[in-house]
Structure 1
């Protein structure tokens, strides 16, 4: 599927023809300065165009040594360089600035290979004499997507004549070229407040760049809200639209992509007019987000726009098939936004008149002063200068902070350890348990997030906005796991069970869905005490059965038996046990007697061998006297 941003690029021709009318389109190249520090005879200052990828060092500068590849095949940098980071500087104070030639492959690929080779910055030399151009990222592709987001070094485009003067010195080999790249004046700082705007879109089915802008909004939200609350910045969101020429207003394309009779249009998200969402729905939501900002701004809470957009993206995503007016109103309700005012701001999308809000947007697309025309999404403009580089939290914060005059930047520009304290008001629009006070709202330096918590070892699960339920082991200890419970006559009944880790099941003797459980009247339902002569009495959560006369009720068999028979059986059982006990005792006594007699005889036999009796000793002495004596020998 072709990305939304690619579609916007291809449809820009229509926009310039029909939106800008007689005004000629204008694209402004944003620049930084490069000063040659050595050699002395080359000392000079030049402009360089900031690349639209990587991370420019807004507000800062870099001094480094220029390296130009010696092998002719390597001067384009379209393949990875040989060796382990061959251009990594051995001196941290003097990083390597790699110079490559334009051509053969994408600019961004050159930057990626330079970064892998250890270069701290990239200069790309033009091959013809012409004004500076802005190096852009390739359109969404499987190749570019692998490294575009990983690019972190700054890239600049320089003119052919300047590049050639550097090459001439390096090729001689007897001198090094030392440059200072300066971004300190890339963003103007006319006063104590920085004004910036973001051109974005509510469509979340537009590929890699769409994910990039939503990740940025989510991650930058906390910084943006603090800056705006303290009055350091003024932020304005914008949305690109174009309009359909009158001869095509009744076409299927314009009917599905435009509102107000073709005046304001957006491309079909799936590029298929027969299925999924259409461009008209995108324009509706874009208009709603603009009005959220306008209405919130009227109450001096313009920063709520960041909450609405991030929450809408999470709760009402196209990917989840929930991109709708109803879902949008749920988000507005959770944030305490006045829905009627926002609807009034949006106006009638079916009317054949200009929409006040969207008309301003189309006029704003045309560049004025130092700012060029807005032609791509997303585009960030700071103090009327278009931001170049990766749309990433810390990089953008640095660029905004460079828009303050020196020594006037707020403390947020120096620290990332921040909290927005949004949970203090309306619980941040997140879920909260009114009984326990457990909340899904959490303040972070990125702004508040609505995430189901983990409390005392019990994990909650849900969307964090409207629902959070305890799950897993121990859930029954927290608000009874959200299940039904009751106490009657000192006995507690609960629909929460450890055998069911996620749901609620009414206990035995009750029926219901687990949220509501009602006592089963087993007597009335005739599910108990069906035996002849039985009487049934219902109890809460159970029942009691009683037999007529002196009979005993057996629950497992649902029957009654005679108590006398029961007494006789006990007598017989005791008699048998007594006989068995006596027989066992007699056997034990007999065994002990026989064992003692046997042991005595064995002992006597052993003693007779080693300790002769008196009469035996006398006979042996006489015999020995009649026998001759013998001598012993050791031989």
Structure 2
């Protein structure tokens, strides 16, 4: 979020203020930094003759709907068209669509126009330029009691060029032939305002460790407190890469020996920050802020080296609580206690910081000054705080929900982490009429997939089964396992204990009626093989149709051979059957008798063996009496 740094004003003497402004942009010429204006598309939907796309520069206040769209009716007020005064009534459209209020540039702050439009019920604001020039960013005014409304602006705003604004005003004004104005319907599209090339978002926050710069510092710290949880979740999951940055300026050679430079700079005037109290005689000095900025940069570097880059958020939050300027605890000792409490290596942090008193360049801060210069689509970083997402400067309020929405718009569609789909920033479009996508009412399988940038109608994969189709009109299960899901969309019927299906696991697609049935696979009917003469056609056959099959019987004592569809004579007589049964019975009887005899002999053999073994270790009584000698009792002499 690009805003004018509150510490750029009132630093000291006027000549020194000029030096600061020149030095901030990193060069002695010129004093204005290169600034890139982000553009969002405005599409006129009706009336027909002015349909088309137009550019609009996003305002630097309010909440742009990054990743989203807004369709509404353009209303140009016949009174107070500049929007510098409160409107007398709420604006409404005939079609009950949201009102996009068109206002003229001039006479007051852009932000005040947006605030008055919001109070009058507008969903968004378009401000028509009053000169022919390139689009510029509508900036936020300085903090003052008269601009307290800034943080309460919650609608998006954009600047459009003069020619486009004039055409909108002309069409939105009352027509001589009608009592009401012609409705001009436009669509504000922010979906491409934030680059979203892949599944990881890279973003950076240009901030300051000074906590005594007024409302702006309080806003930054409130953002860190509120956004910390989201940031850490995304970093832990590998979804985002966050980098903190700190703006510094250098003191020109001619002023290095002045009290201003000595109190506000380190490394002999190379890296400076303004005095927190804007009073060189009391309180903390600017160089104290530079040293802490350097420490926080090194905390992030050391934390990143140890695989815990998200620890930076904890350090900044803890340092604010434990080491605030208001409580006179903004010190090296307090900072080092916070580093050790977070389990980070203090030695590595100190090594990274180097010597602030040395007359040499500091590698960390030199890199920061280099990074302030804009590259590609980002533009120079000249004001605080500045949030850059995927190399594009964020526009809007520095607030948890608004920033999270912008960061989430930087993910490639469908790759957003769960934190981006939380209820406080995202509405599940699939809950309303299934998002207009296909859904199987029987299985509740749906092609609607909710993403941060809107719903996507895409045939899903359910329990390993892939669906194919356009996602809007229909999806069909394909591949292995498709028959387990609503029978693959094919015909199936059960009667009694029999079930037939037109879905086959061996076929990856399509439906085919099983043997015994006919149809297109989505509807199958029993095939009467008997009537159609498809089976049991031999002269001696009698055919009976069954569901999905048939039965065929032969005349007399004949046997039906199904594979050959014929009857053959049964040559075996009753006597033959009797002999066969008798032989089988005899064989069975001999087998049983042999088995019984075998078991008897085995038992006898085992008994004799057992008796022989027992006779060796357990002699019988008769053997004892004959062979054992008399024992002498202990009581005998």
The TM-score, its normalising length taken from structure 1, stands at 0.63
Q: C-alpha separation between the residues in 1 aligned to 2:25 and 2:389?
A: 27
List per-residue Cα deviations over 1:567-591 (Å, max 9, x = no partner).
Answer: xxxxxxxxxxxxxxxxxxxxxxxxx
Partner of 1:377: 384
Q: How far apart are 1:289 and its partner, in Å?
A: 0.2
Q: C-alpha separation between the residues in 2 aligned to 1:27 and 1:363?
A: 16
**3-state SS in 1 of match to 2:173:** helix
Q: C-alpha separation between the residues in 2 aligned to 1:153 and 1:255?
A: 45
Partner of 2:62: 54
The change in CA–CA distance for 1:221 and 1:18 in structure 2 (over 3 A counts) is closer
Are 1:64 and 2:72 matched, yes or no?
A: yes
Partner of 1:510: none
List per-residue Cα deviations over 1:63-115 (Å, max 9, x = no partner).
Answer: 000001112xx0011111113xx1145766x2000001111111111111001
Partner of 1:147: 149
Q: C-alpha separation between the residues in 1 aligned to 2:383 and 2:229?
A: 25
The change in CA–CA distance for 1:309 and 1:98 in structure 2 (over 3 A counts) is same
Q: How far apart are 1:3 and its partner, in Å?
A: 3.3
Are 1:77 and 2:74 matched, yes or no?
A: no
| Correspondence 1:71-470 to 2 at 5 A | 71=79, 74-83=80-89, 86-88=90-92, 94-144=97-147, 146-173=148-175, 174=178, 175-415=182-422
Q: How far apart are 1:22 and its partner, in Å?
A: 8.5
**Equivalent pair of 1:32/1:47 in contact (CA under 8 Å):** yes
**3-state SS in 1 of match to 2:145:** coil
Cα root mean square deviation, aligned: 2.0
Q: C-alpha separation between the residues in 1 aligned to 2:102 and 2:424?
A: 38
**Equivalent pair of 2:26/2:373 in contact (CA under 8 Å):** no
The change in CA–CA distance for 1:329 and 1:89 in structure 2 (over 3 A counts) is farther
**Equivalent pair of 1:34/1:180 in contact (CA under 8 Å):** yes
- Pick the aligned partner of 2:50 from 36, 42, 61: 42
**Equivalent pair of 2:72/2:98 in contact (CA under 8 Å):** yes
Q: How far apart are 1:20 and its partner, in Å?
A: 6.9
The change in CA–CA distance for 1:3 and 1:13 in structure 2 (over 3 A counts) is closer
**Equivalent pair of 1:88/1:117 in contact (CA under 8 Å):** no
Q: C-alpha separation between the residues in 1 aligned to 2:211 and 2:93?
A: 42
Partner of 2:492: none
**Equivalent pair of 2:83/2:103 in contact (CA under 8 Å):** yes
The change in CA–CA distance for 1:113 and 1:121 in structure 2 (over 3 A counts) is same
List per-residue Cα deviations over 1:208-228 (Å, max 9, x = no partner).
Answer: 111111100110000000000
Partner of 2:445: none
List per-residue Cα deviations over 1:134-178 (Å, max 9, x = no partner).
Answer: 01111111111x211111000101100000001111224352110
Q: C-alpha separation between the residues in 1 aligned to 2:29 and 2:317?
A: 35
**3-state SS in 1 of match to 2:254:** helix
Q: C-alpha separation between the residues in 2 aligned to 1:395 and 1:132?
A: 24
Q: C-alpha separation between the residues in 2 aligned to 1:416 and 1:214?
A: 24
Q: How far apart are 1:18 and its partner, in Å?
A: 5.0
The change in CA–CA distance for 1:305 and 1:112 in structure 2 (over 3 A counts) is same
Q: C-alpha separation between the residues in 1 aligned to 2:95 and 2:46?
A: 17
**Equivalent pair of 1:371/1:386 in contact (CA under 8 Å):** yes
The change in CA–CA distance for 1:148 and 1:11 in structure 2 (over 3 A counts) is farther
Q: C-alpha separation between the residues in 1 aligned to 2:225 and 2:300?
A: 16
List per-residue Cα deviations over 1:286-334 (Å, max 9, x = no partner).
Answer: 0000000000000110000000001111111111111111111121122
Q: C-alpha separation between the residues in 2 aligned to 1:158 and 1:374?
A: 24
Partner of 1:633: none
List per-residue Cα deviations over 1:494-522 (Å, max 9, x = no partner).
Answer: xxxxxxxxxxxxxxxxxxxxxxxxxxxxx
**3-state SS in 1 of match to 2:229:** helix
**Equivalent pair of 2:22/2:31 in contact (CA under 8 Å):** no
Q: C-alpha separation between the residues in 1 aligned to 2:94 and 2:319?
A: 49
Q: C-alpha separation between the residues in 1 aligned to 2:9 and 2:317?
A: 24
**3-state SS in 2 of match to 1:143:** helix
List per-residue Cα deviations over 1:250-270 (Å, max 9, x = no partner).
Answer: 100000000000000000011
**Equivalent pair of 2:22/2:28 in contact (CA under 8 Å):** no
Q: C-alpha separation between the residues in 2 aligned to 1:7 and 1:231?
A: 43
The change in CA–CA distance for 1:142 and 1:103 in structure 2 (over 3 A counts) is same
Q: How far apart are 1:11 and its partner, in Å?
A: 5.9
Partner of 1:560: none
**Equivalent pair of 2:271/2:290 in contact (CA under 8 Å):** yes
Q: How far apart are 1:411 and its partner, in Å?
A: 1.2
List per-residue Cα deviations over 1:440-466 (Å, max 9, x = no partner).
Answer: xxxxxxxxxxxxxxxxxxxxxxxxxxx
The TM-score, its normalising length taken from structure 2, stands at 0.62
The change in CA–CA distance for 1:17 and 1:413 in structure 2 (over 3 A counts) is closer
Structure 1 residues not aligned, in runs of 5+ = 419-635
**Equivalent pair of 2:8/2:21 in contact (CA under 8 Å):** no
Q: How far apart are 1:13 and its partner, in Å?
A: 2.8
Partner of 1:557: none
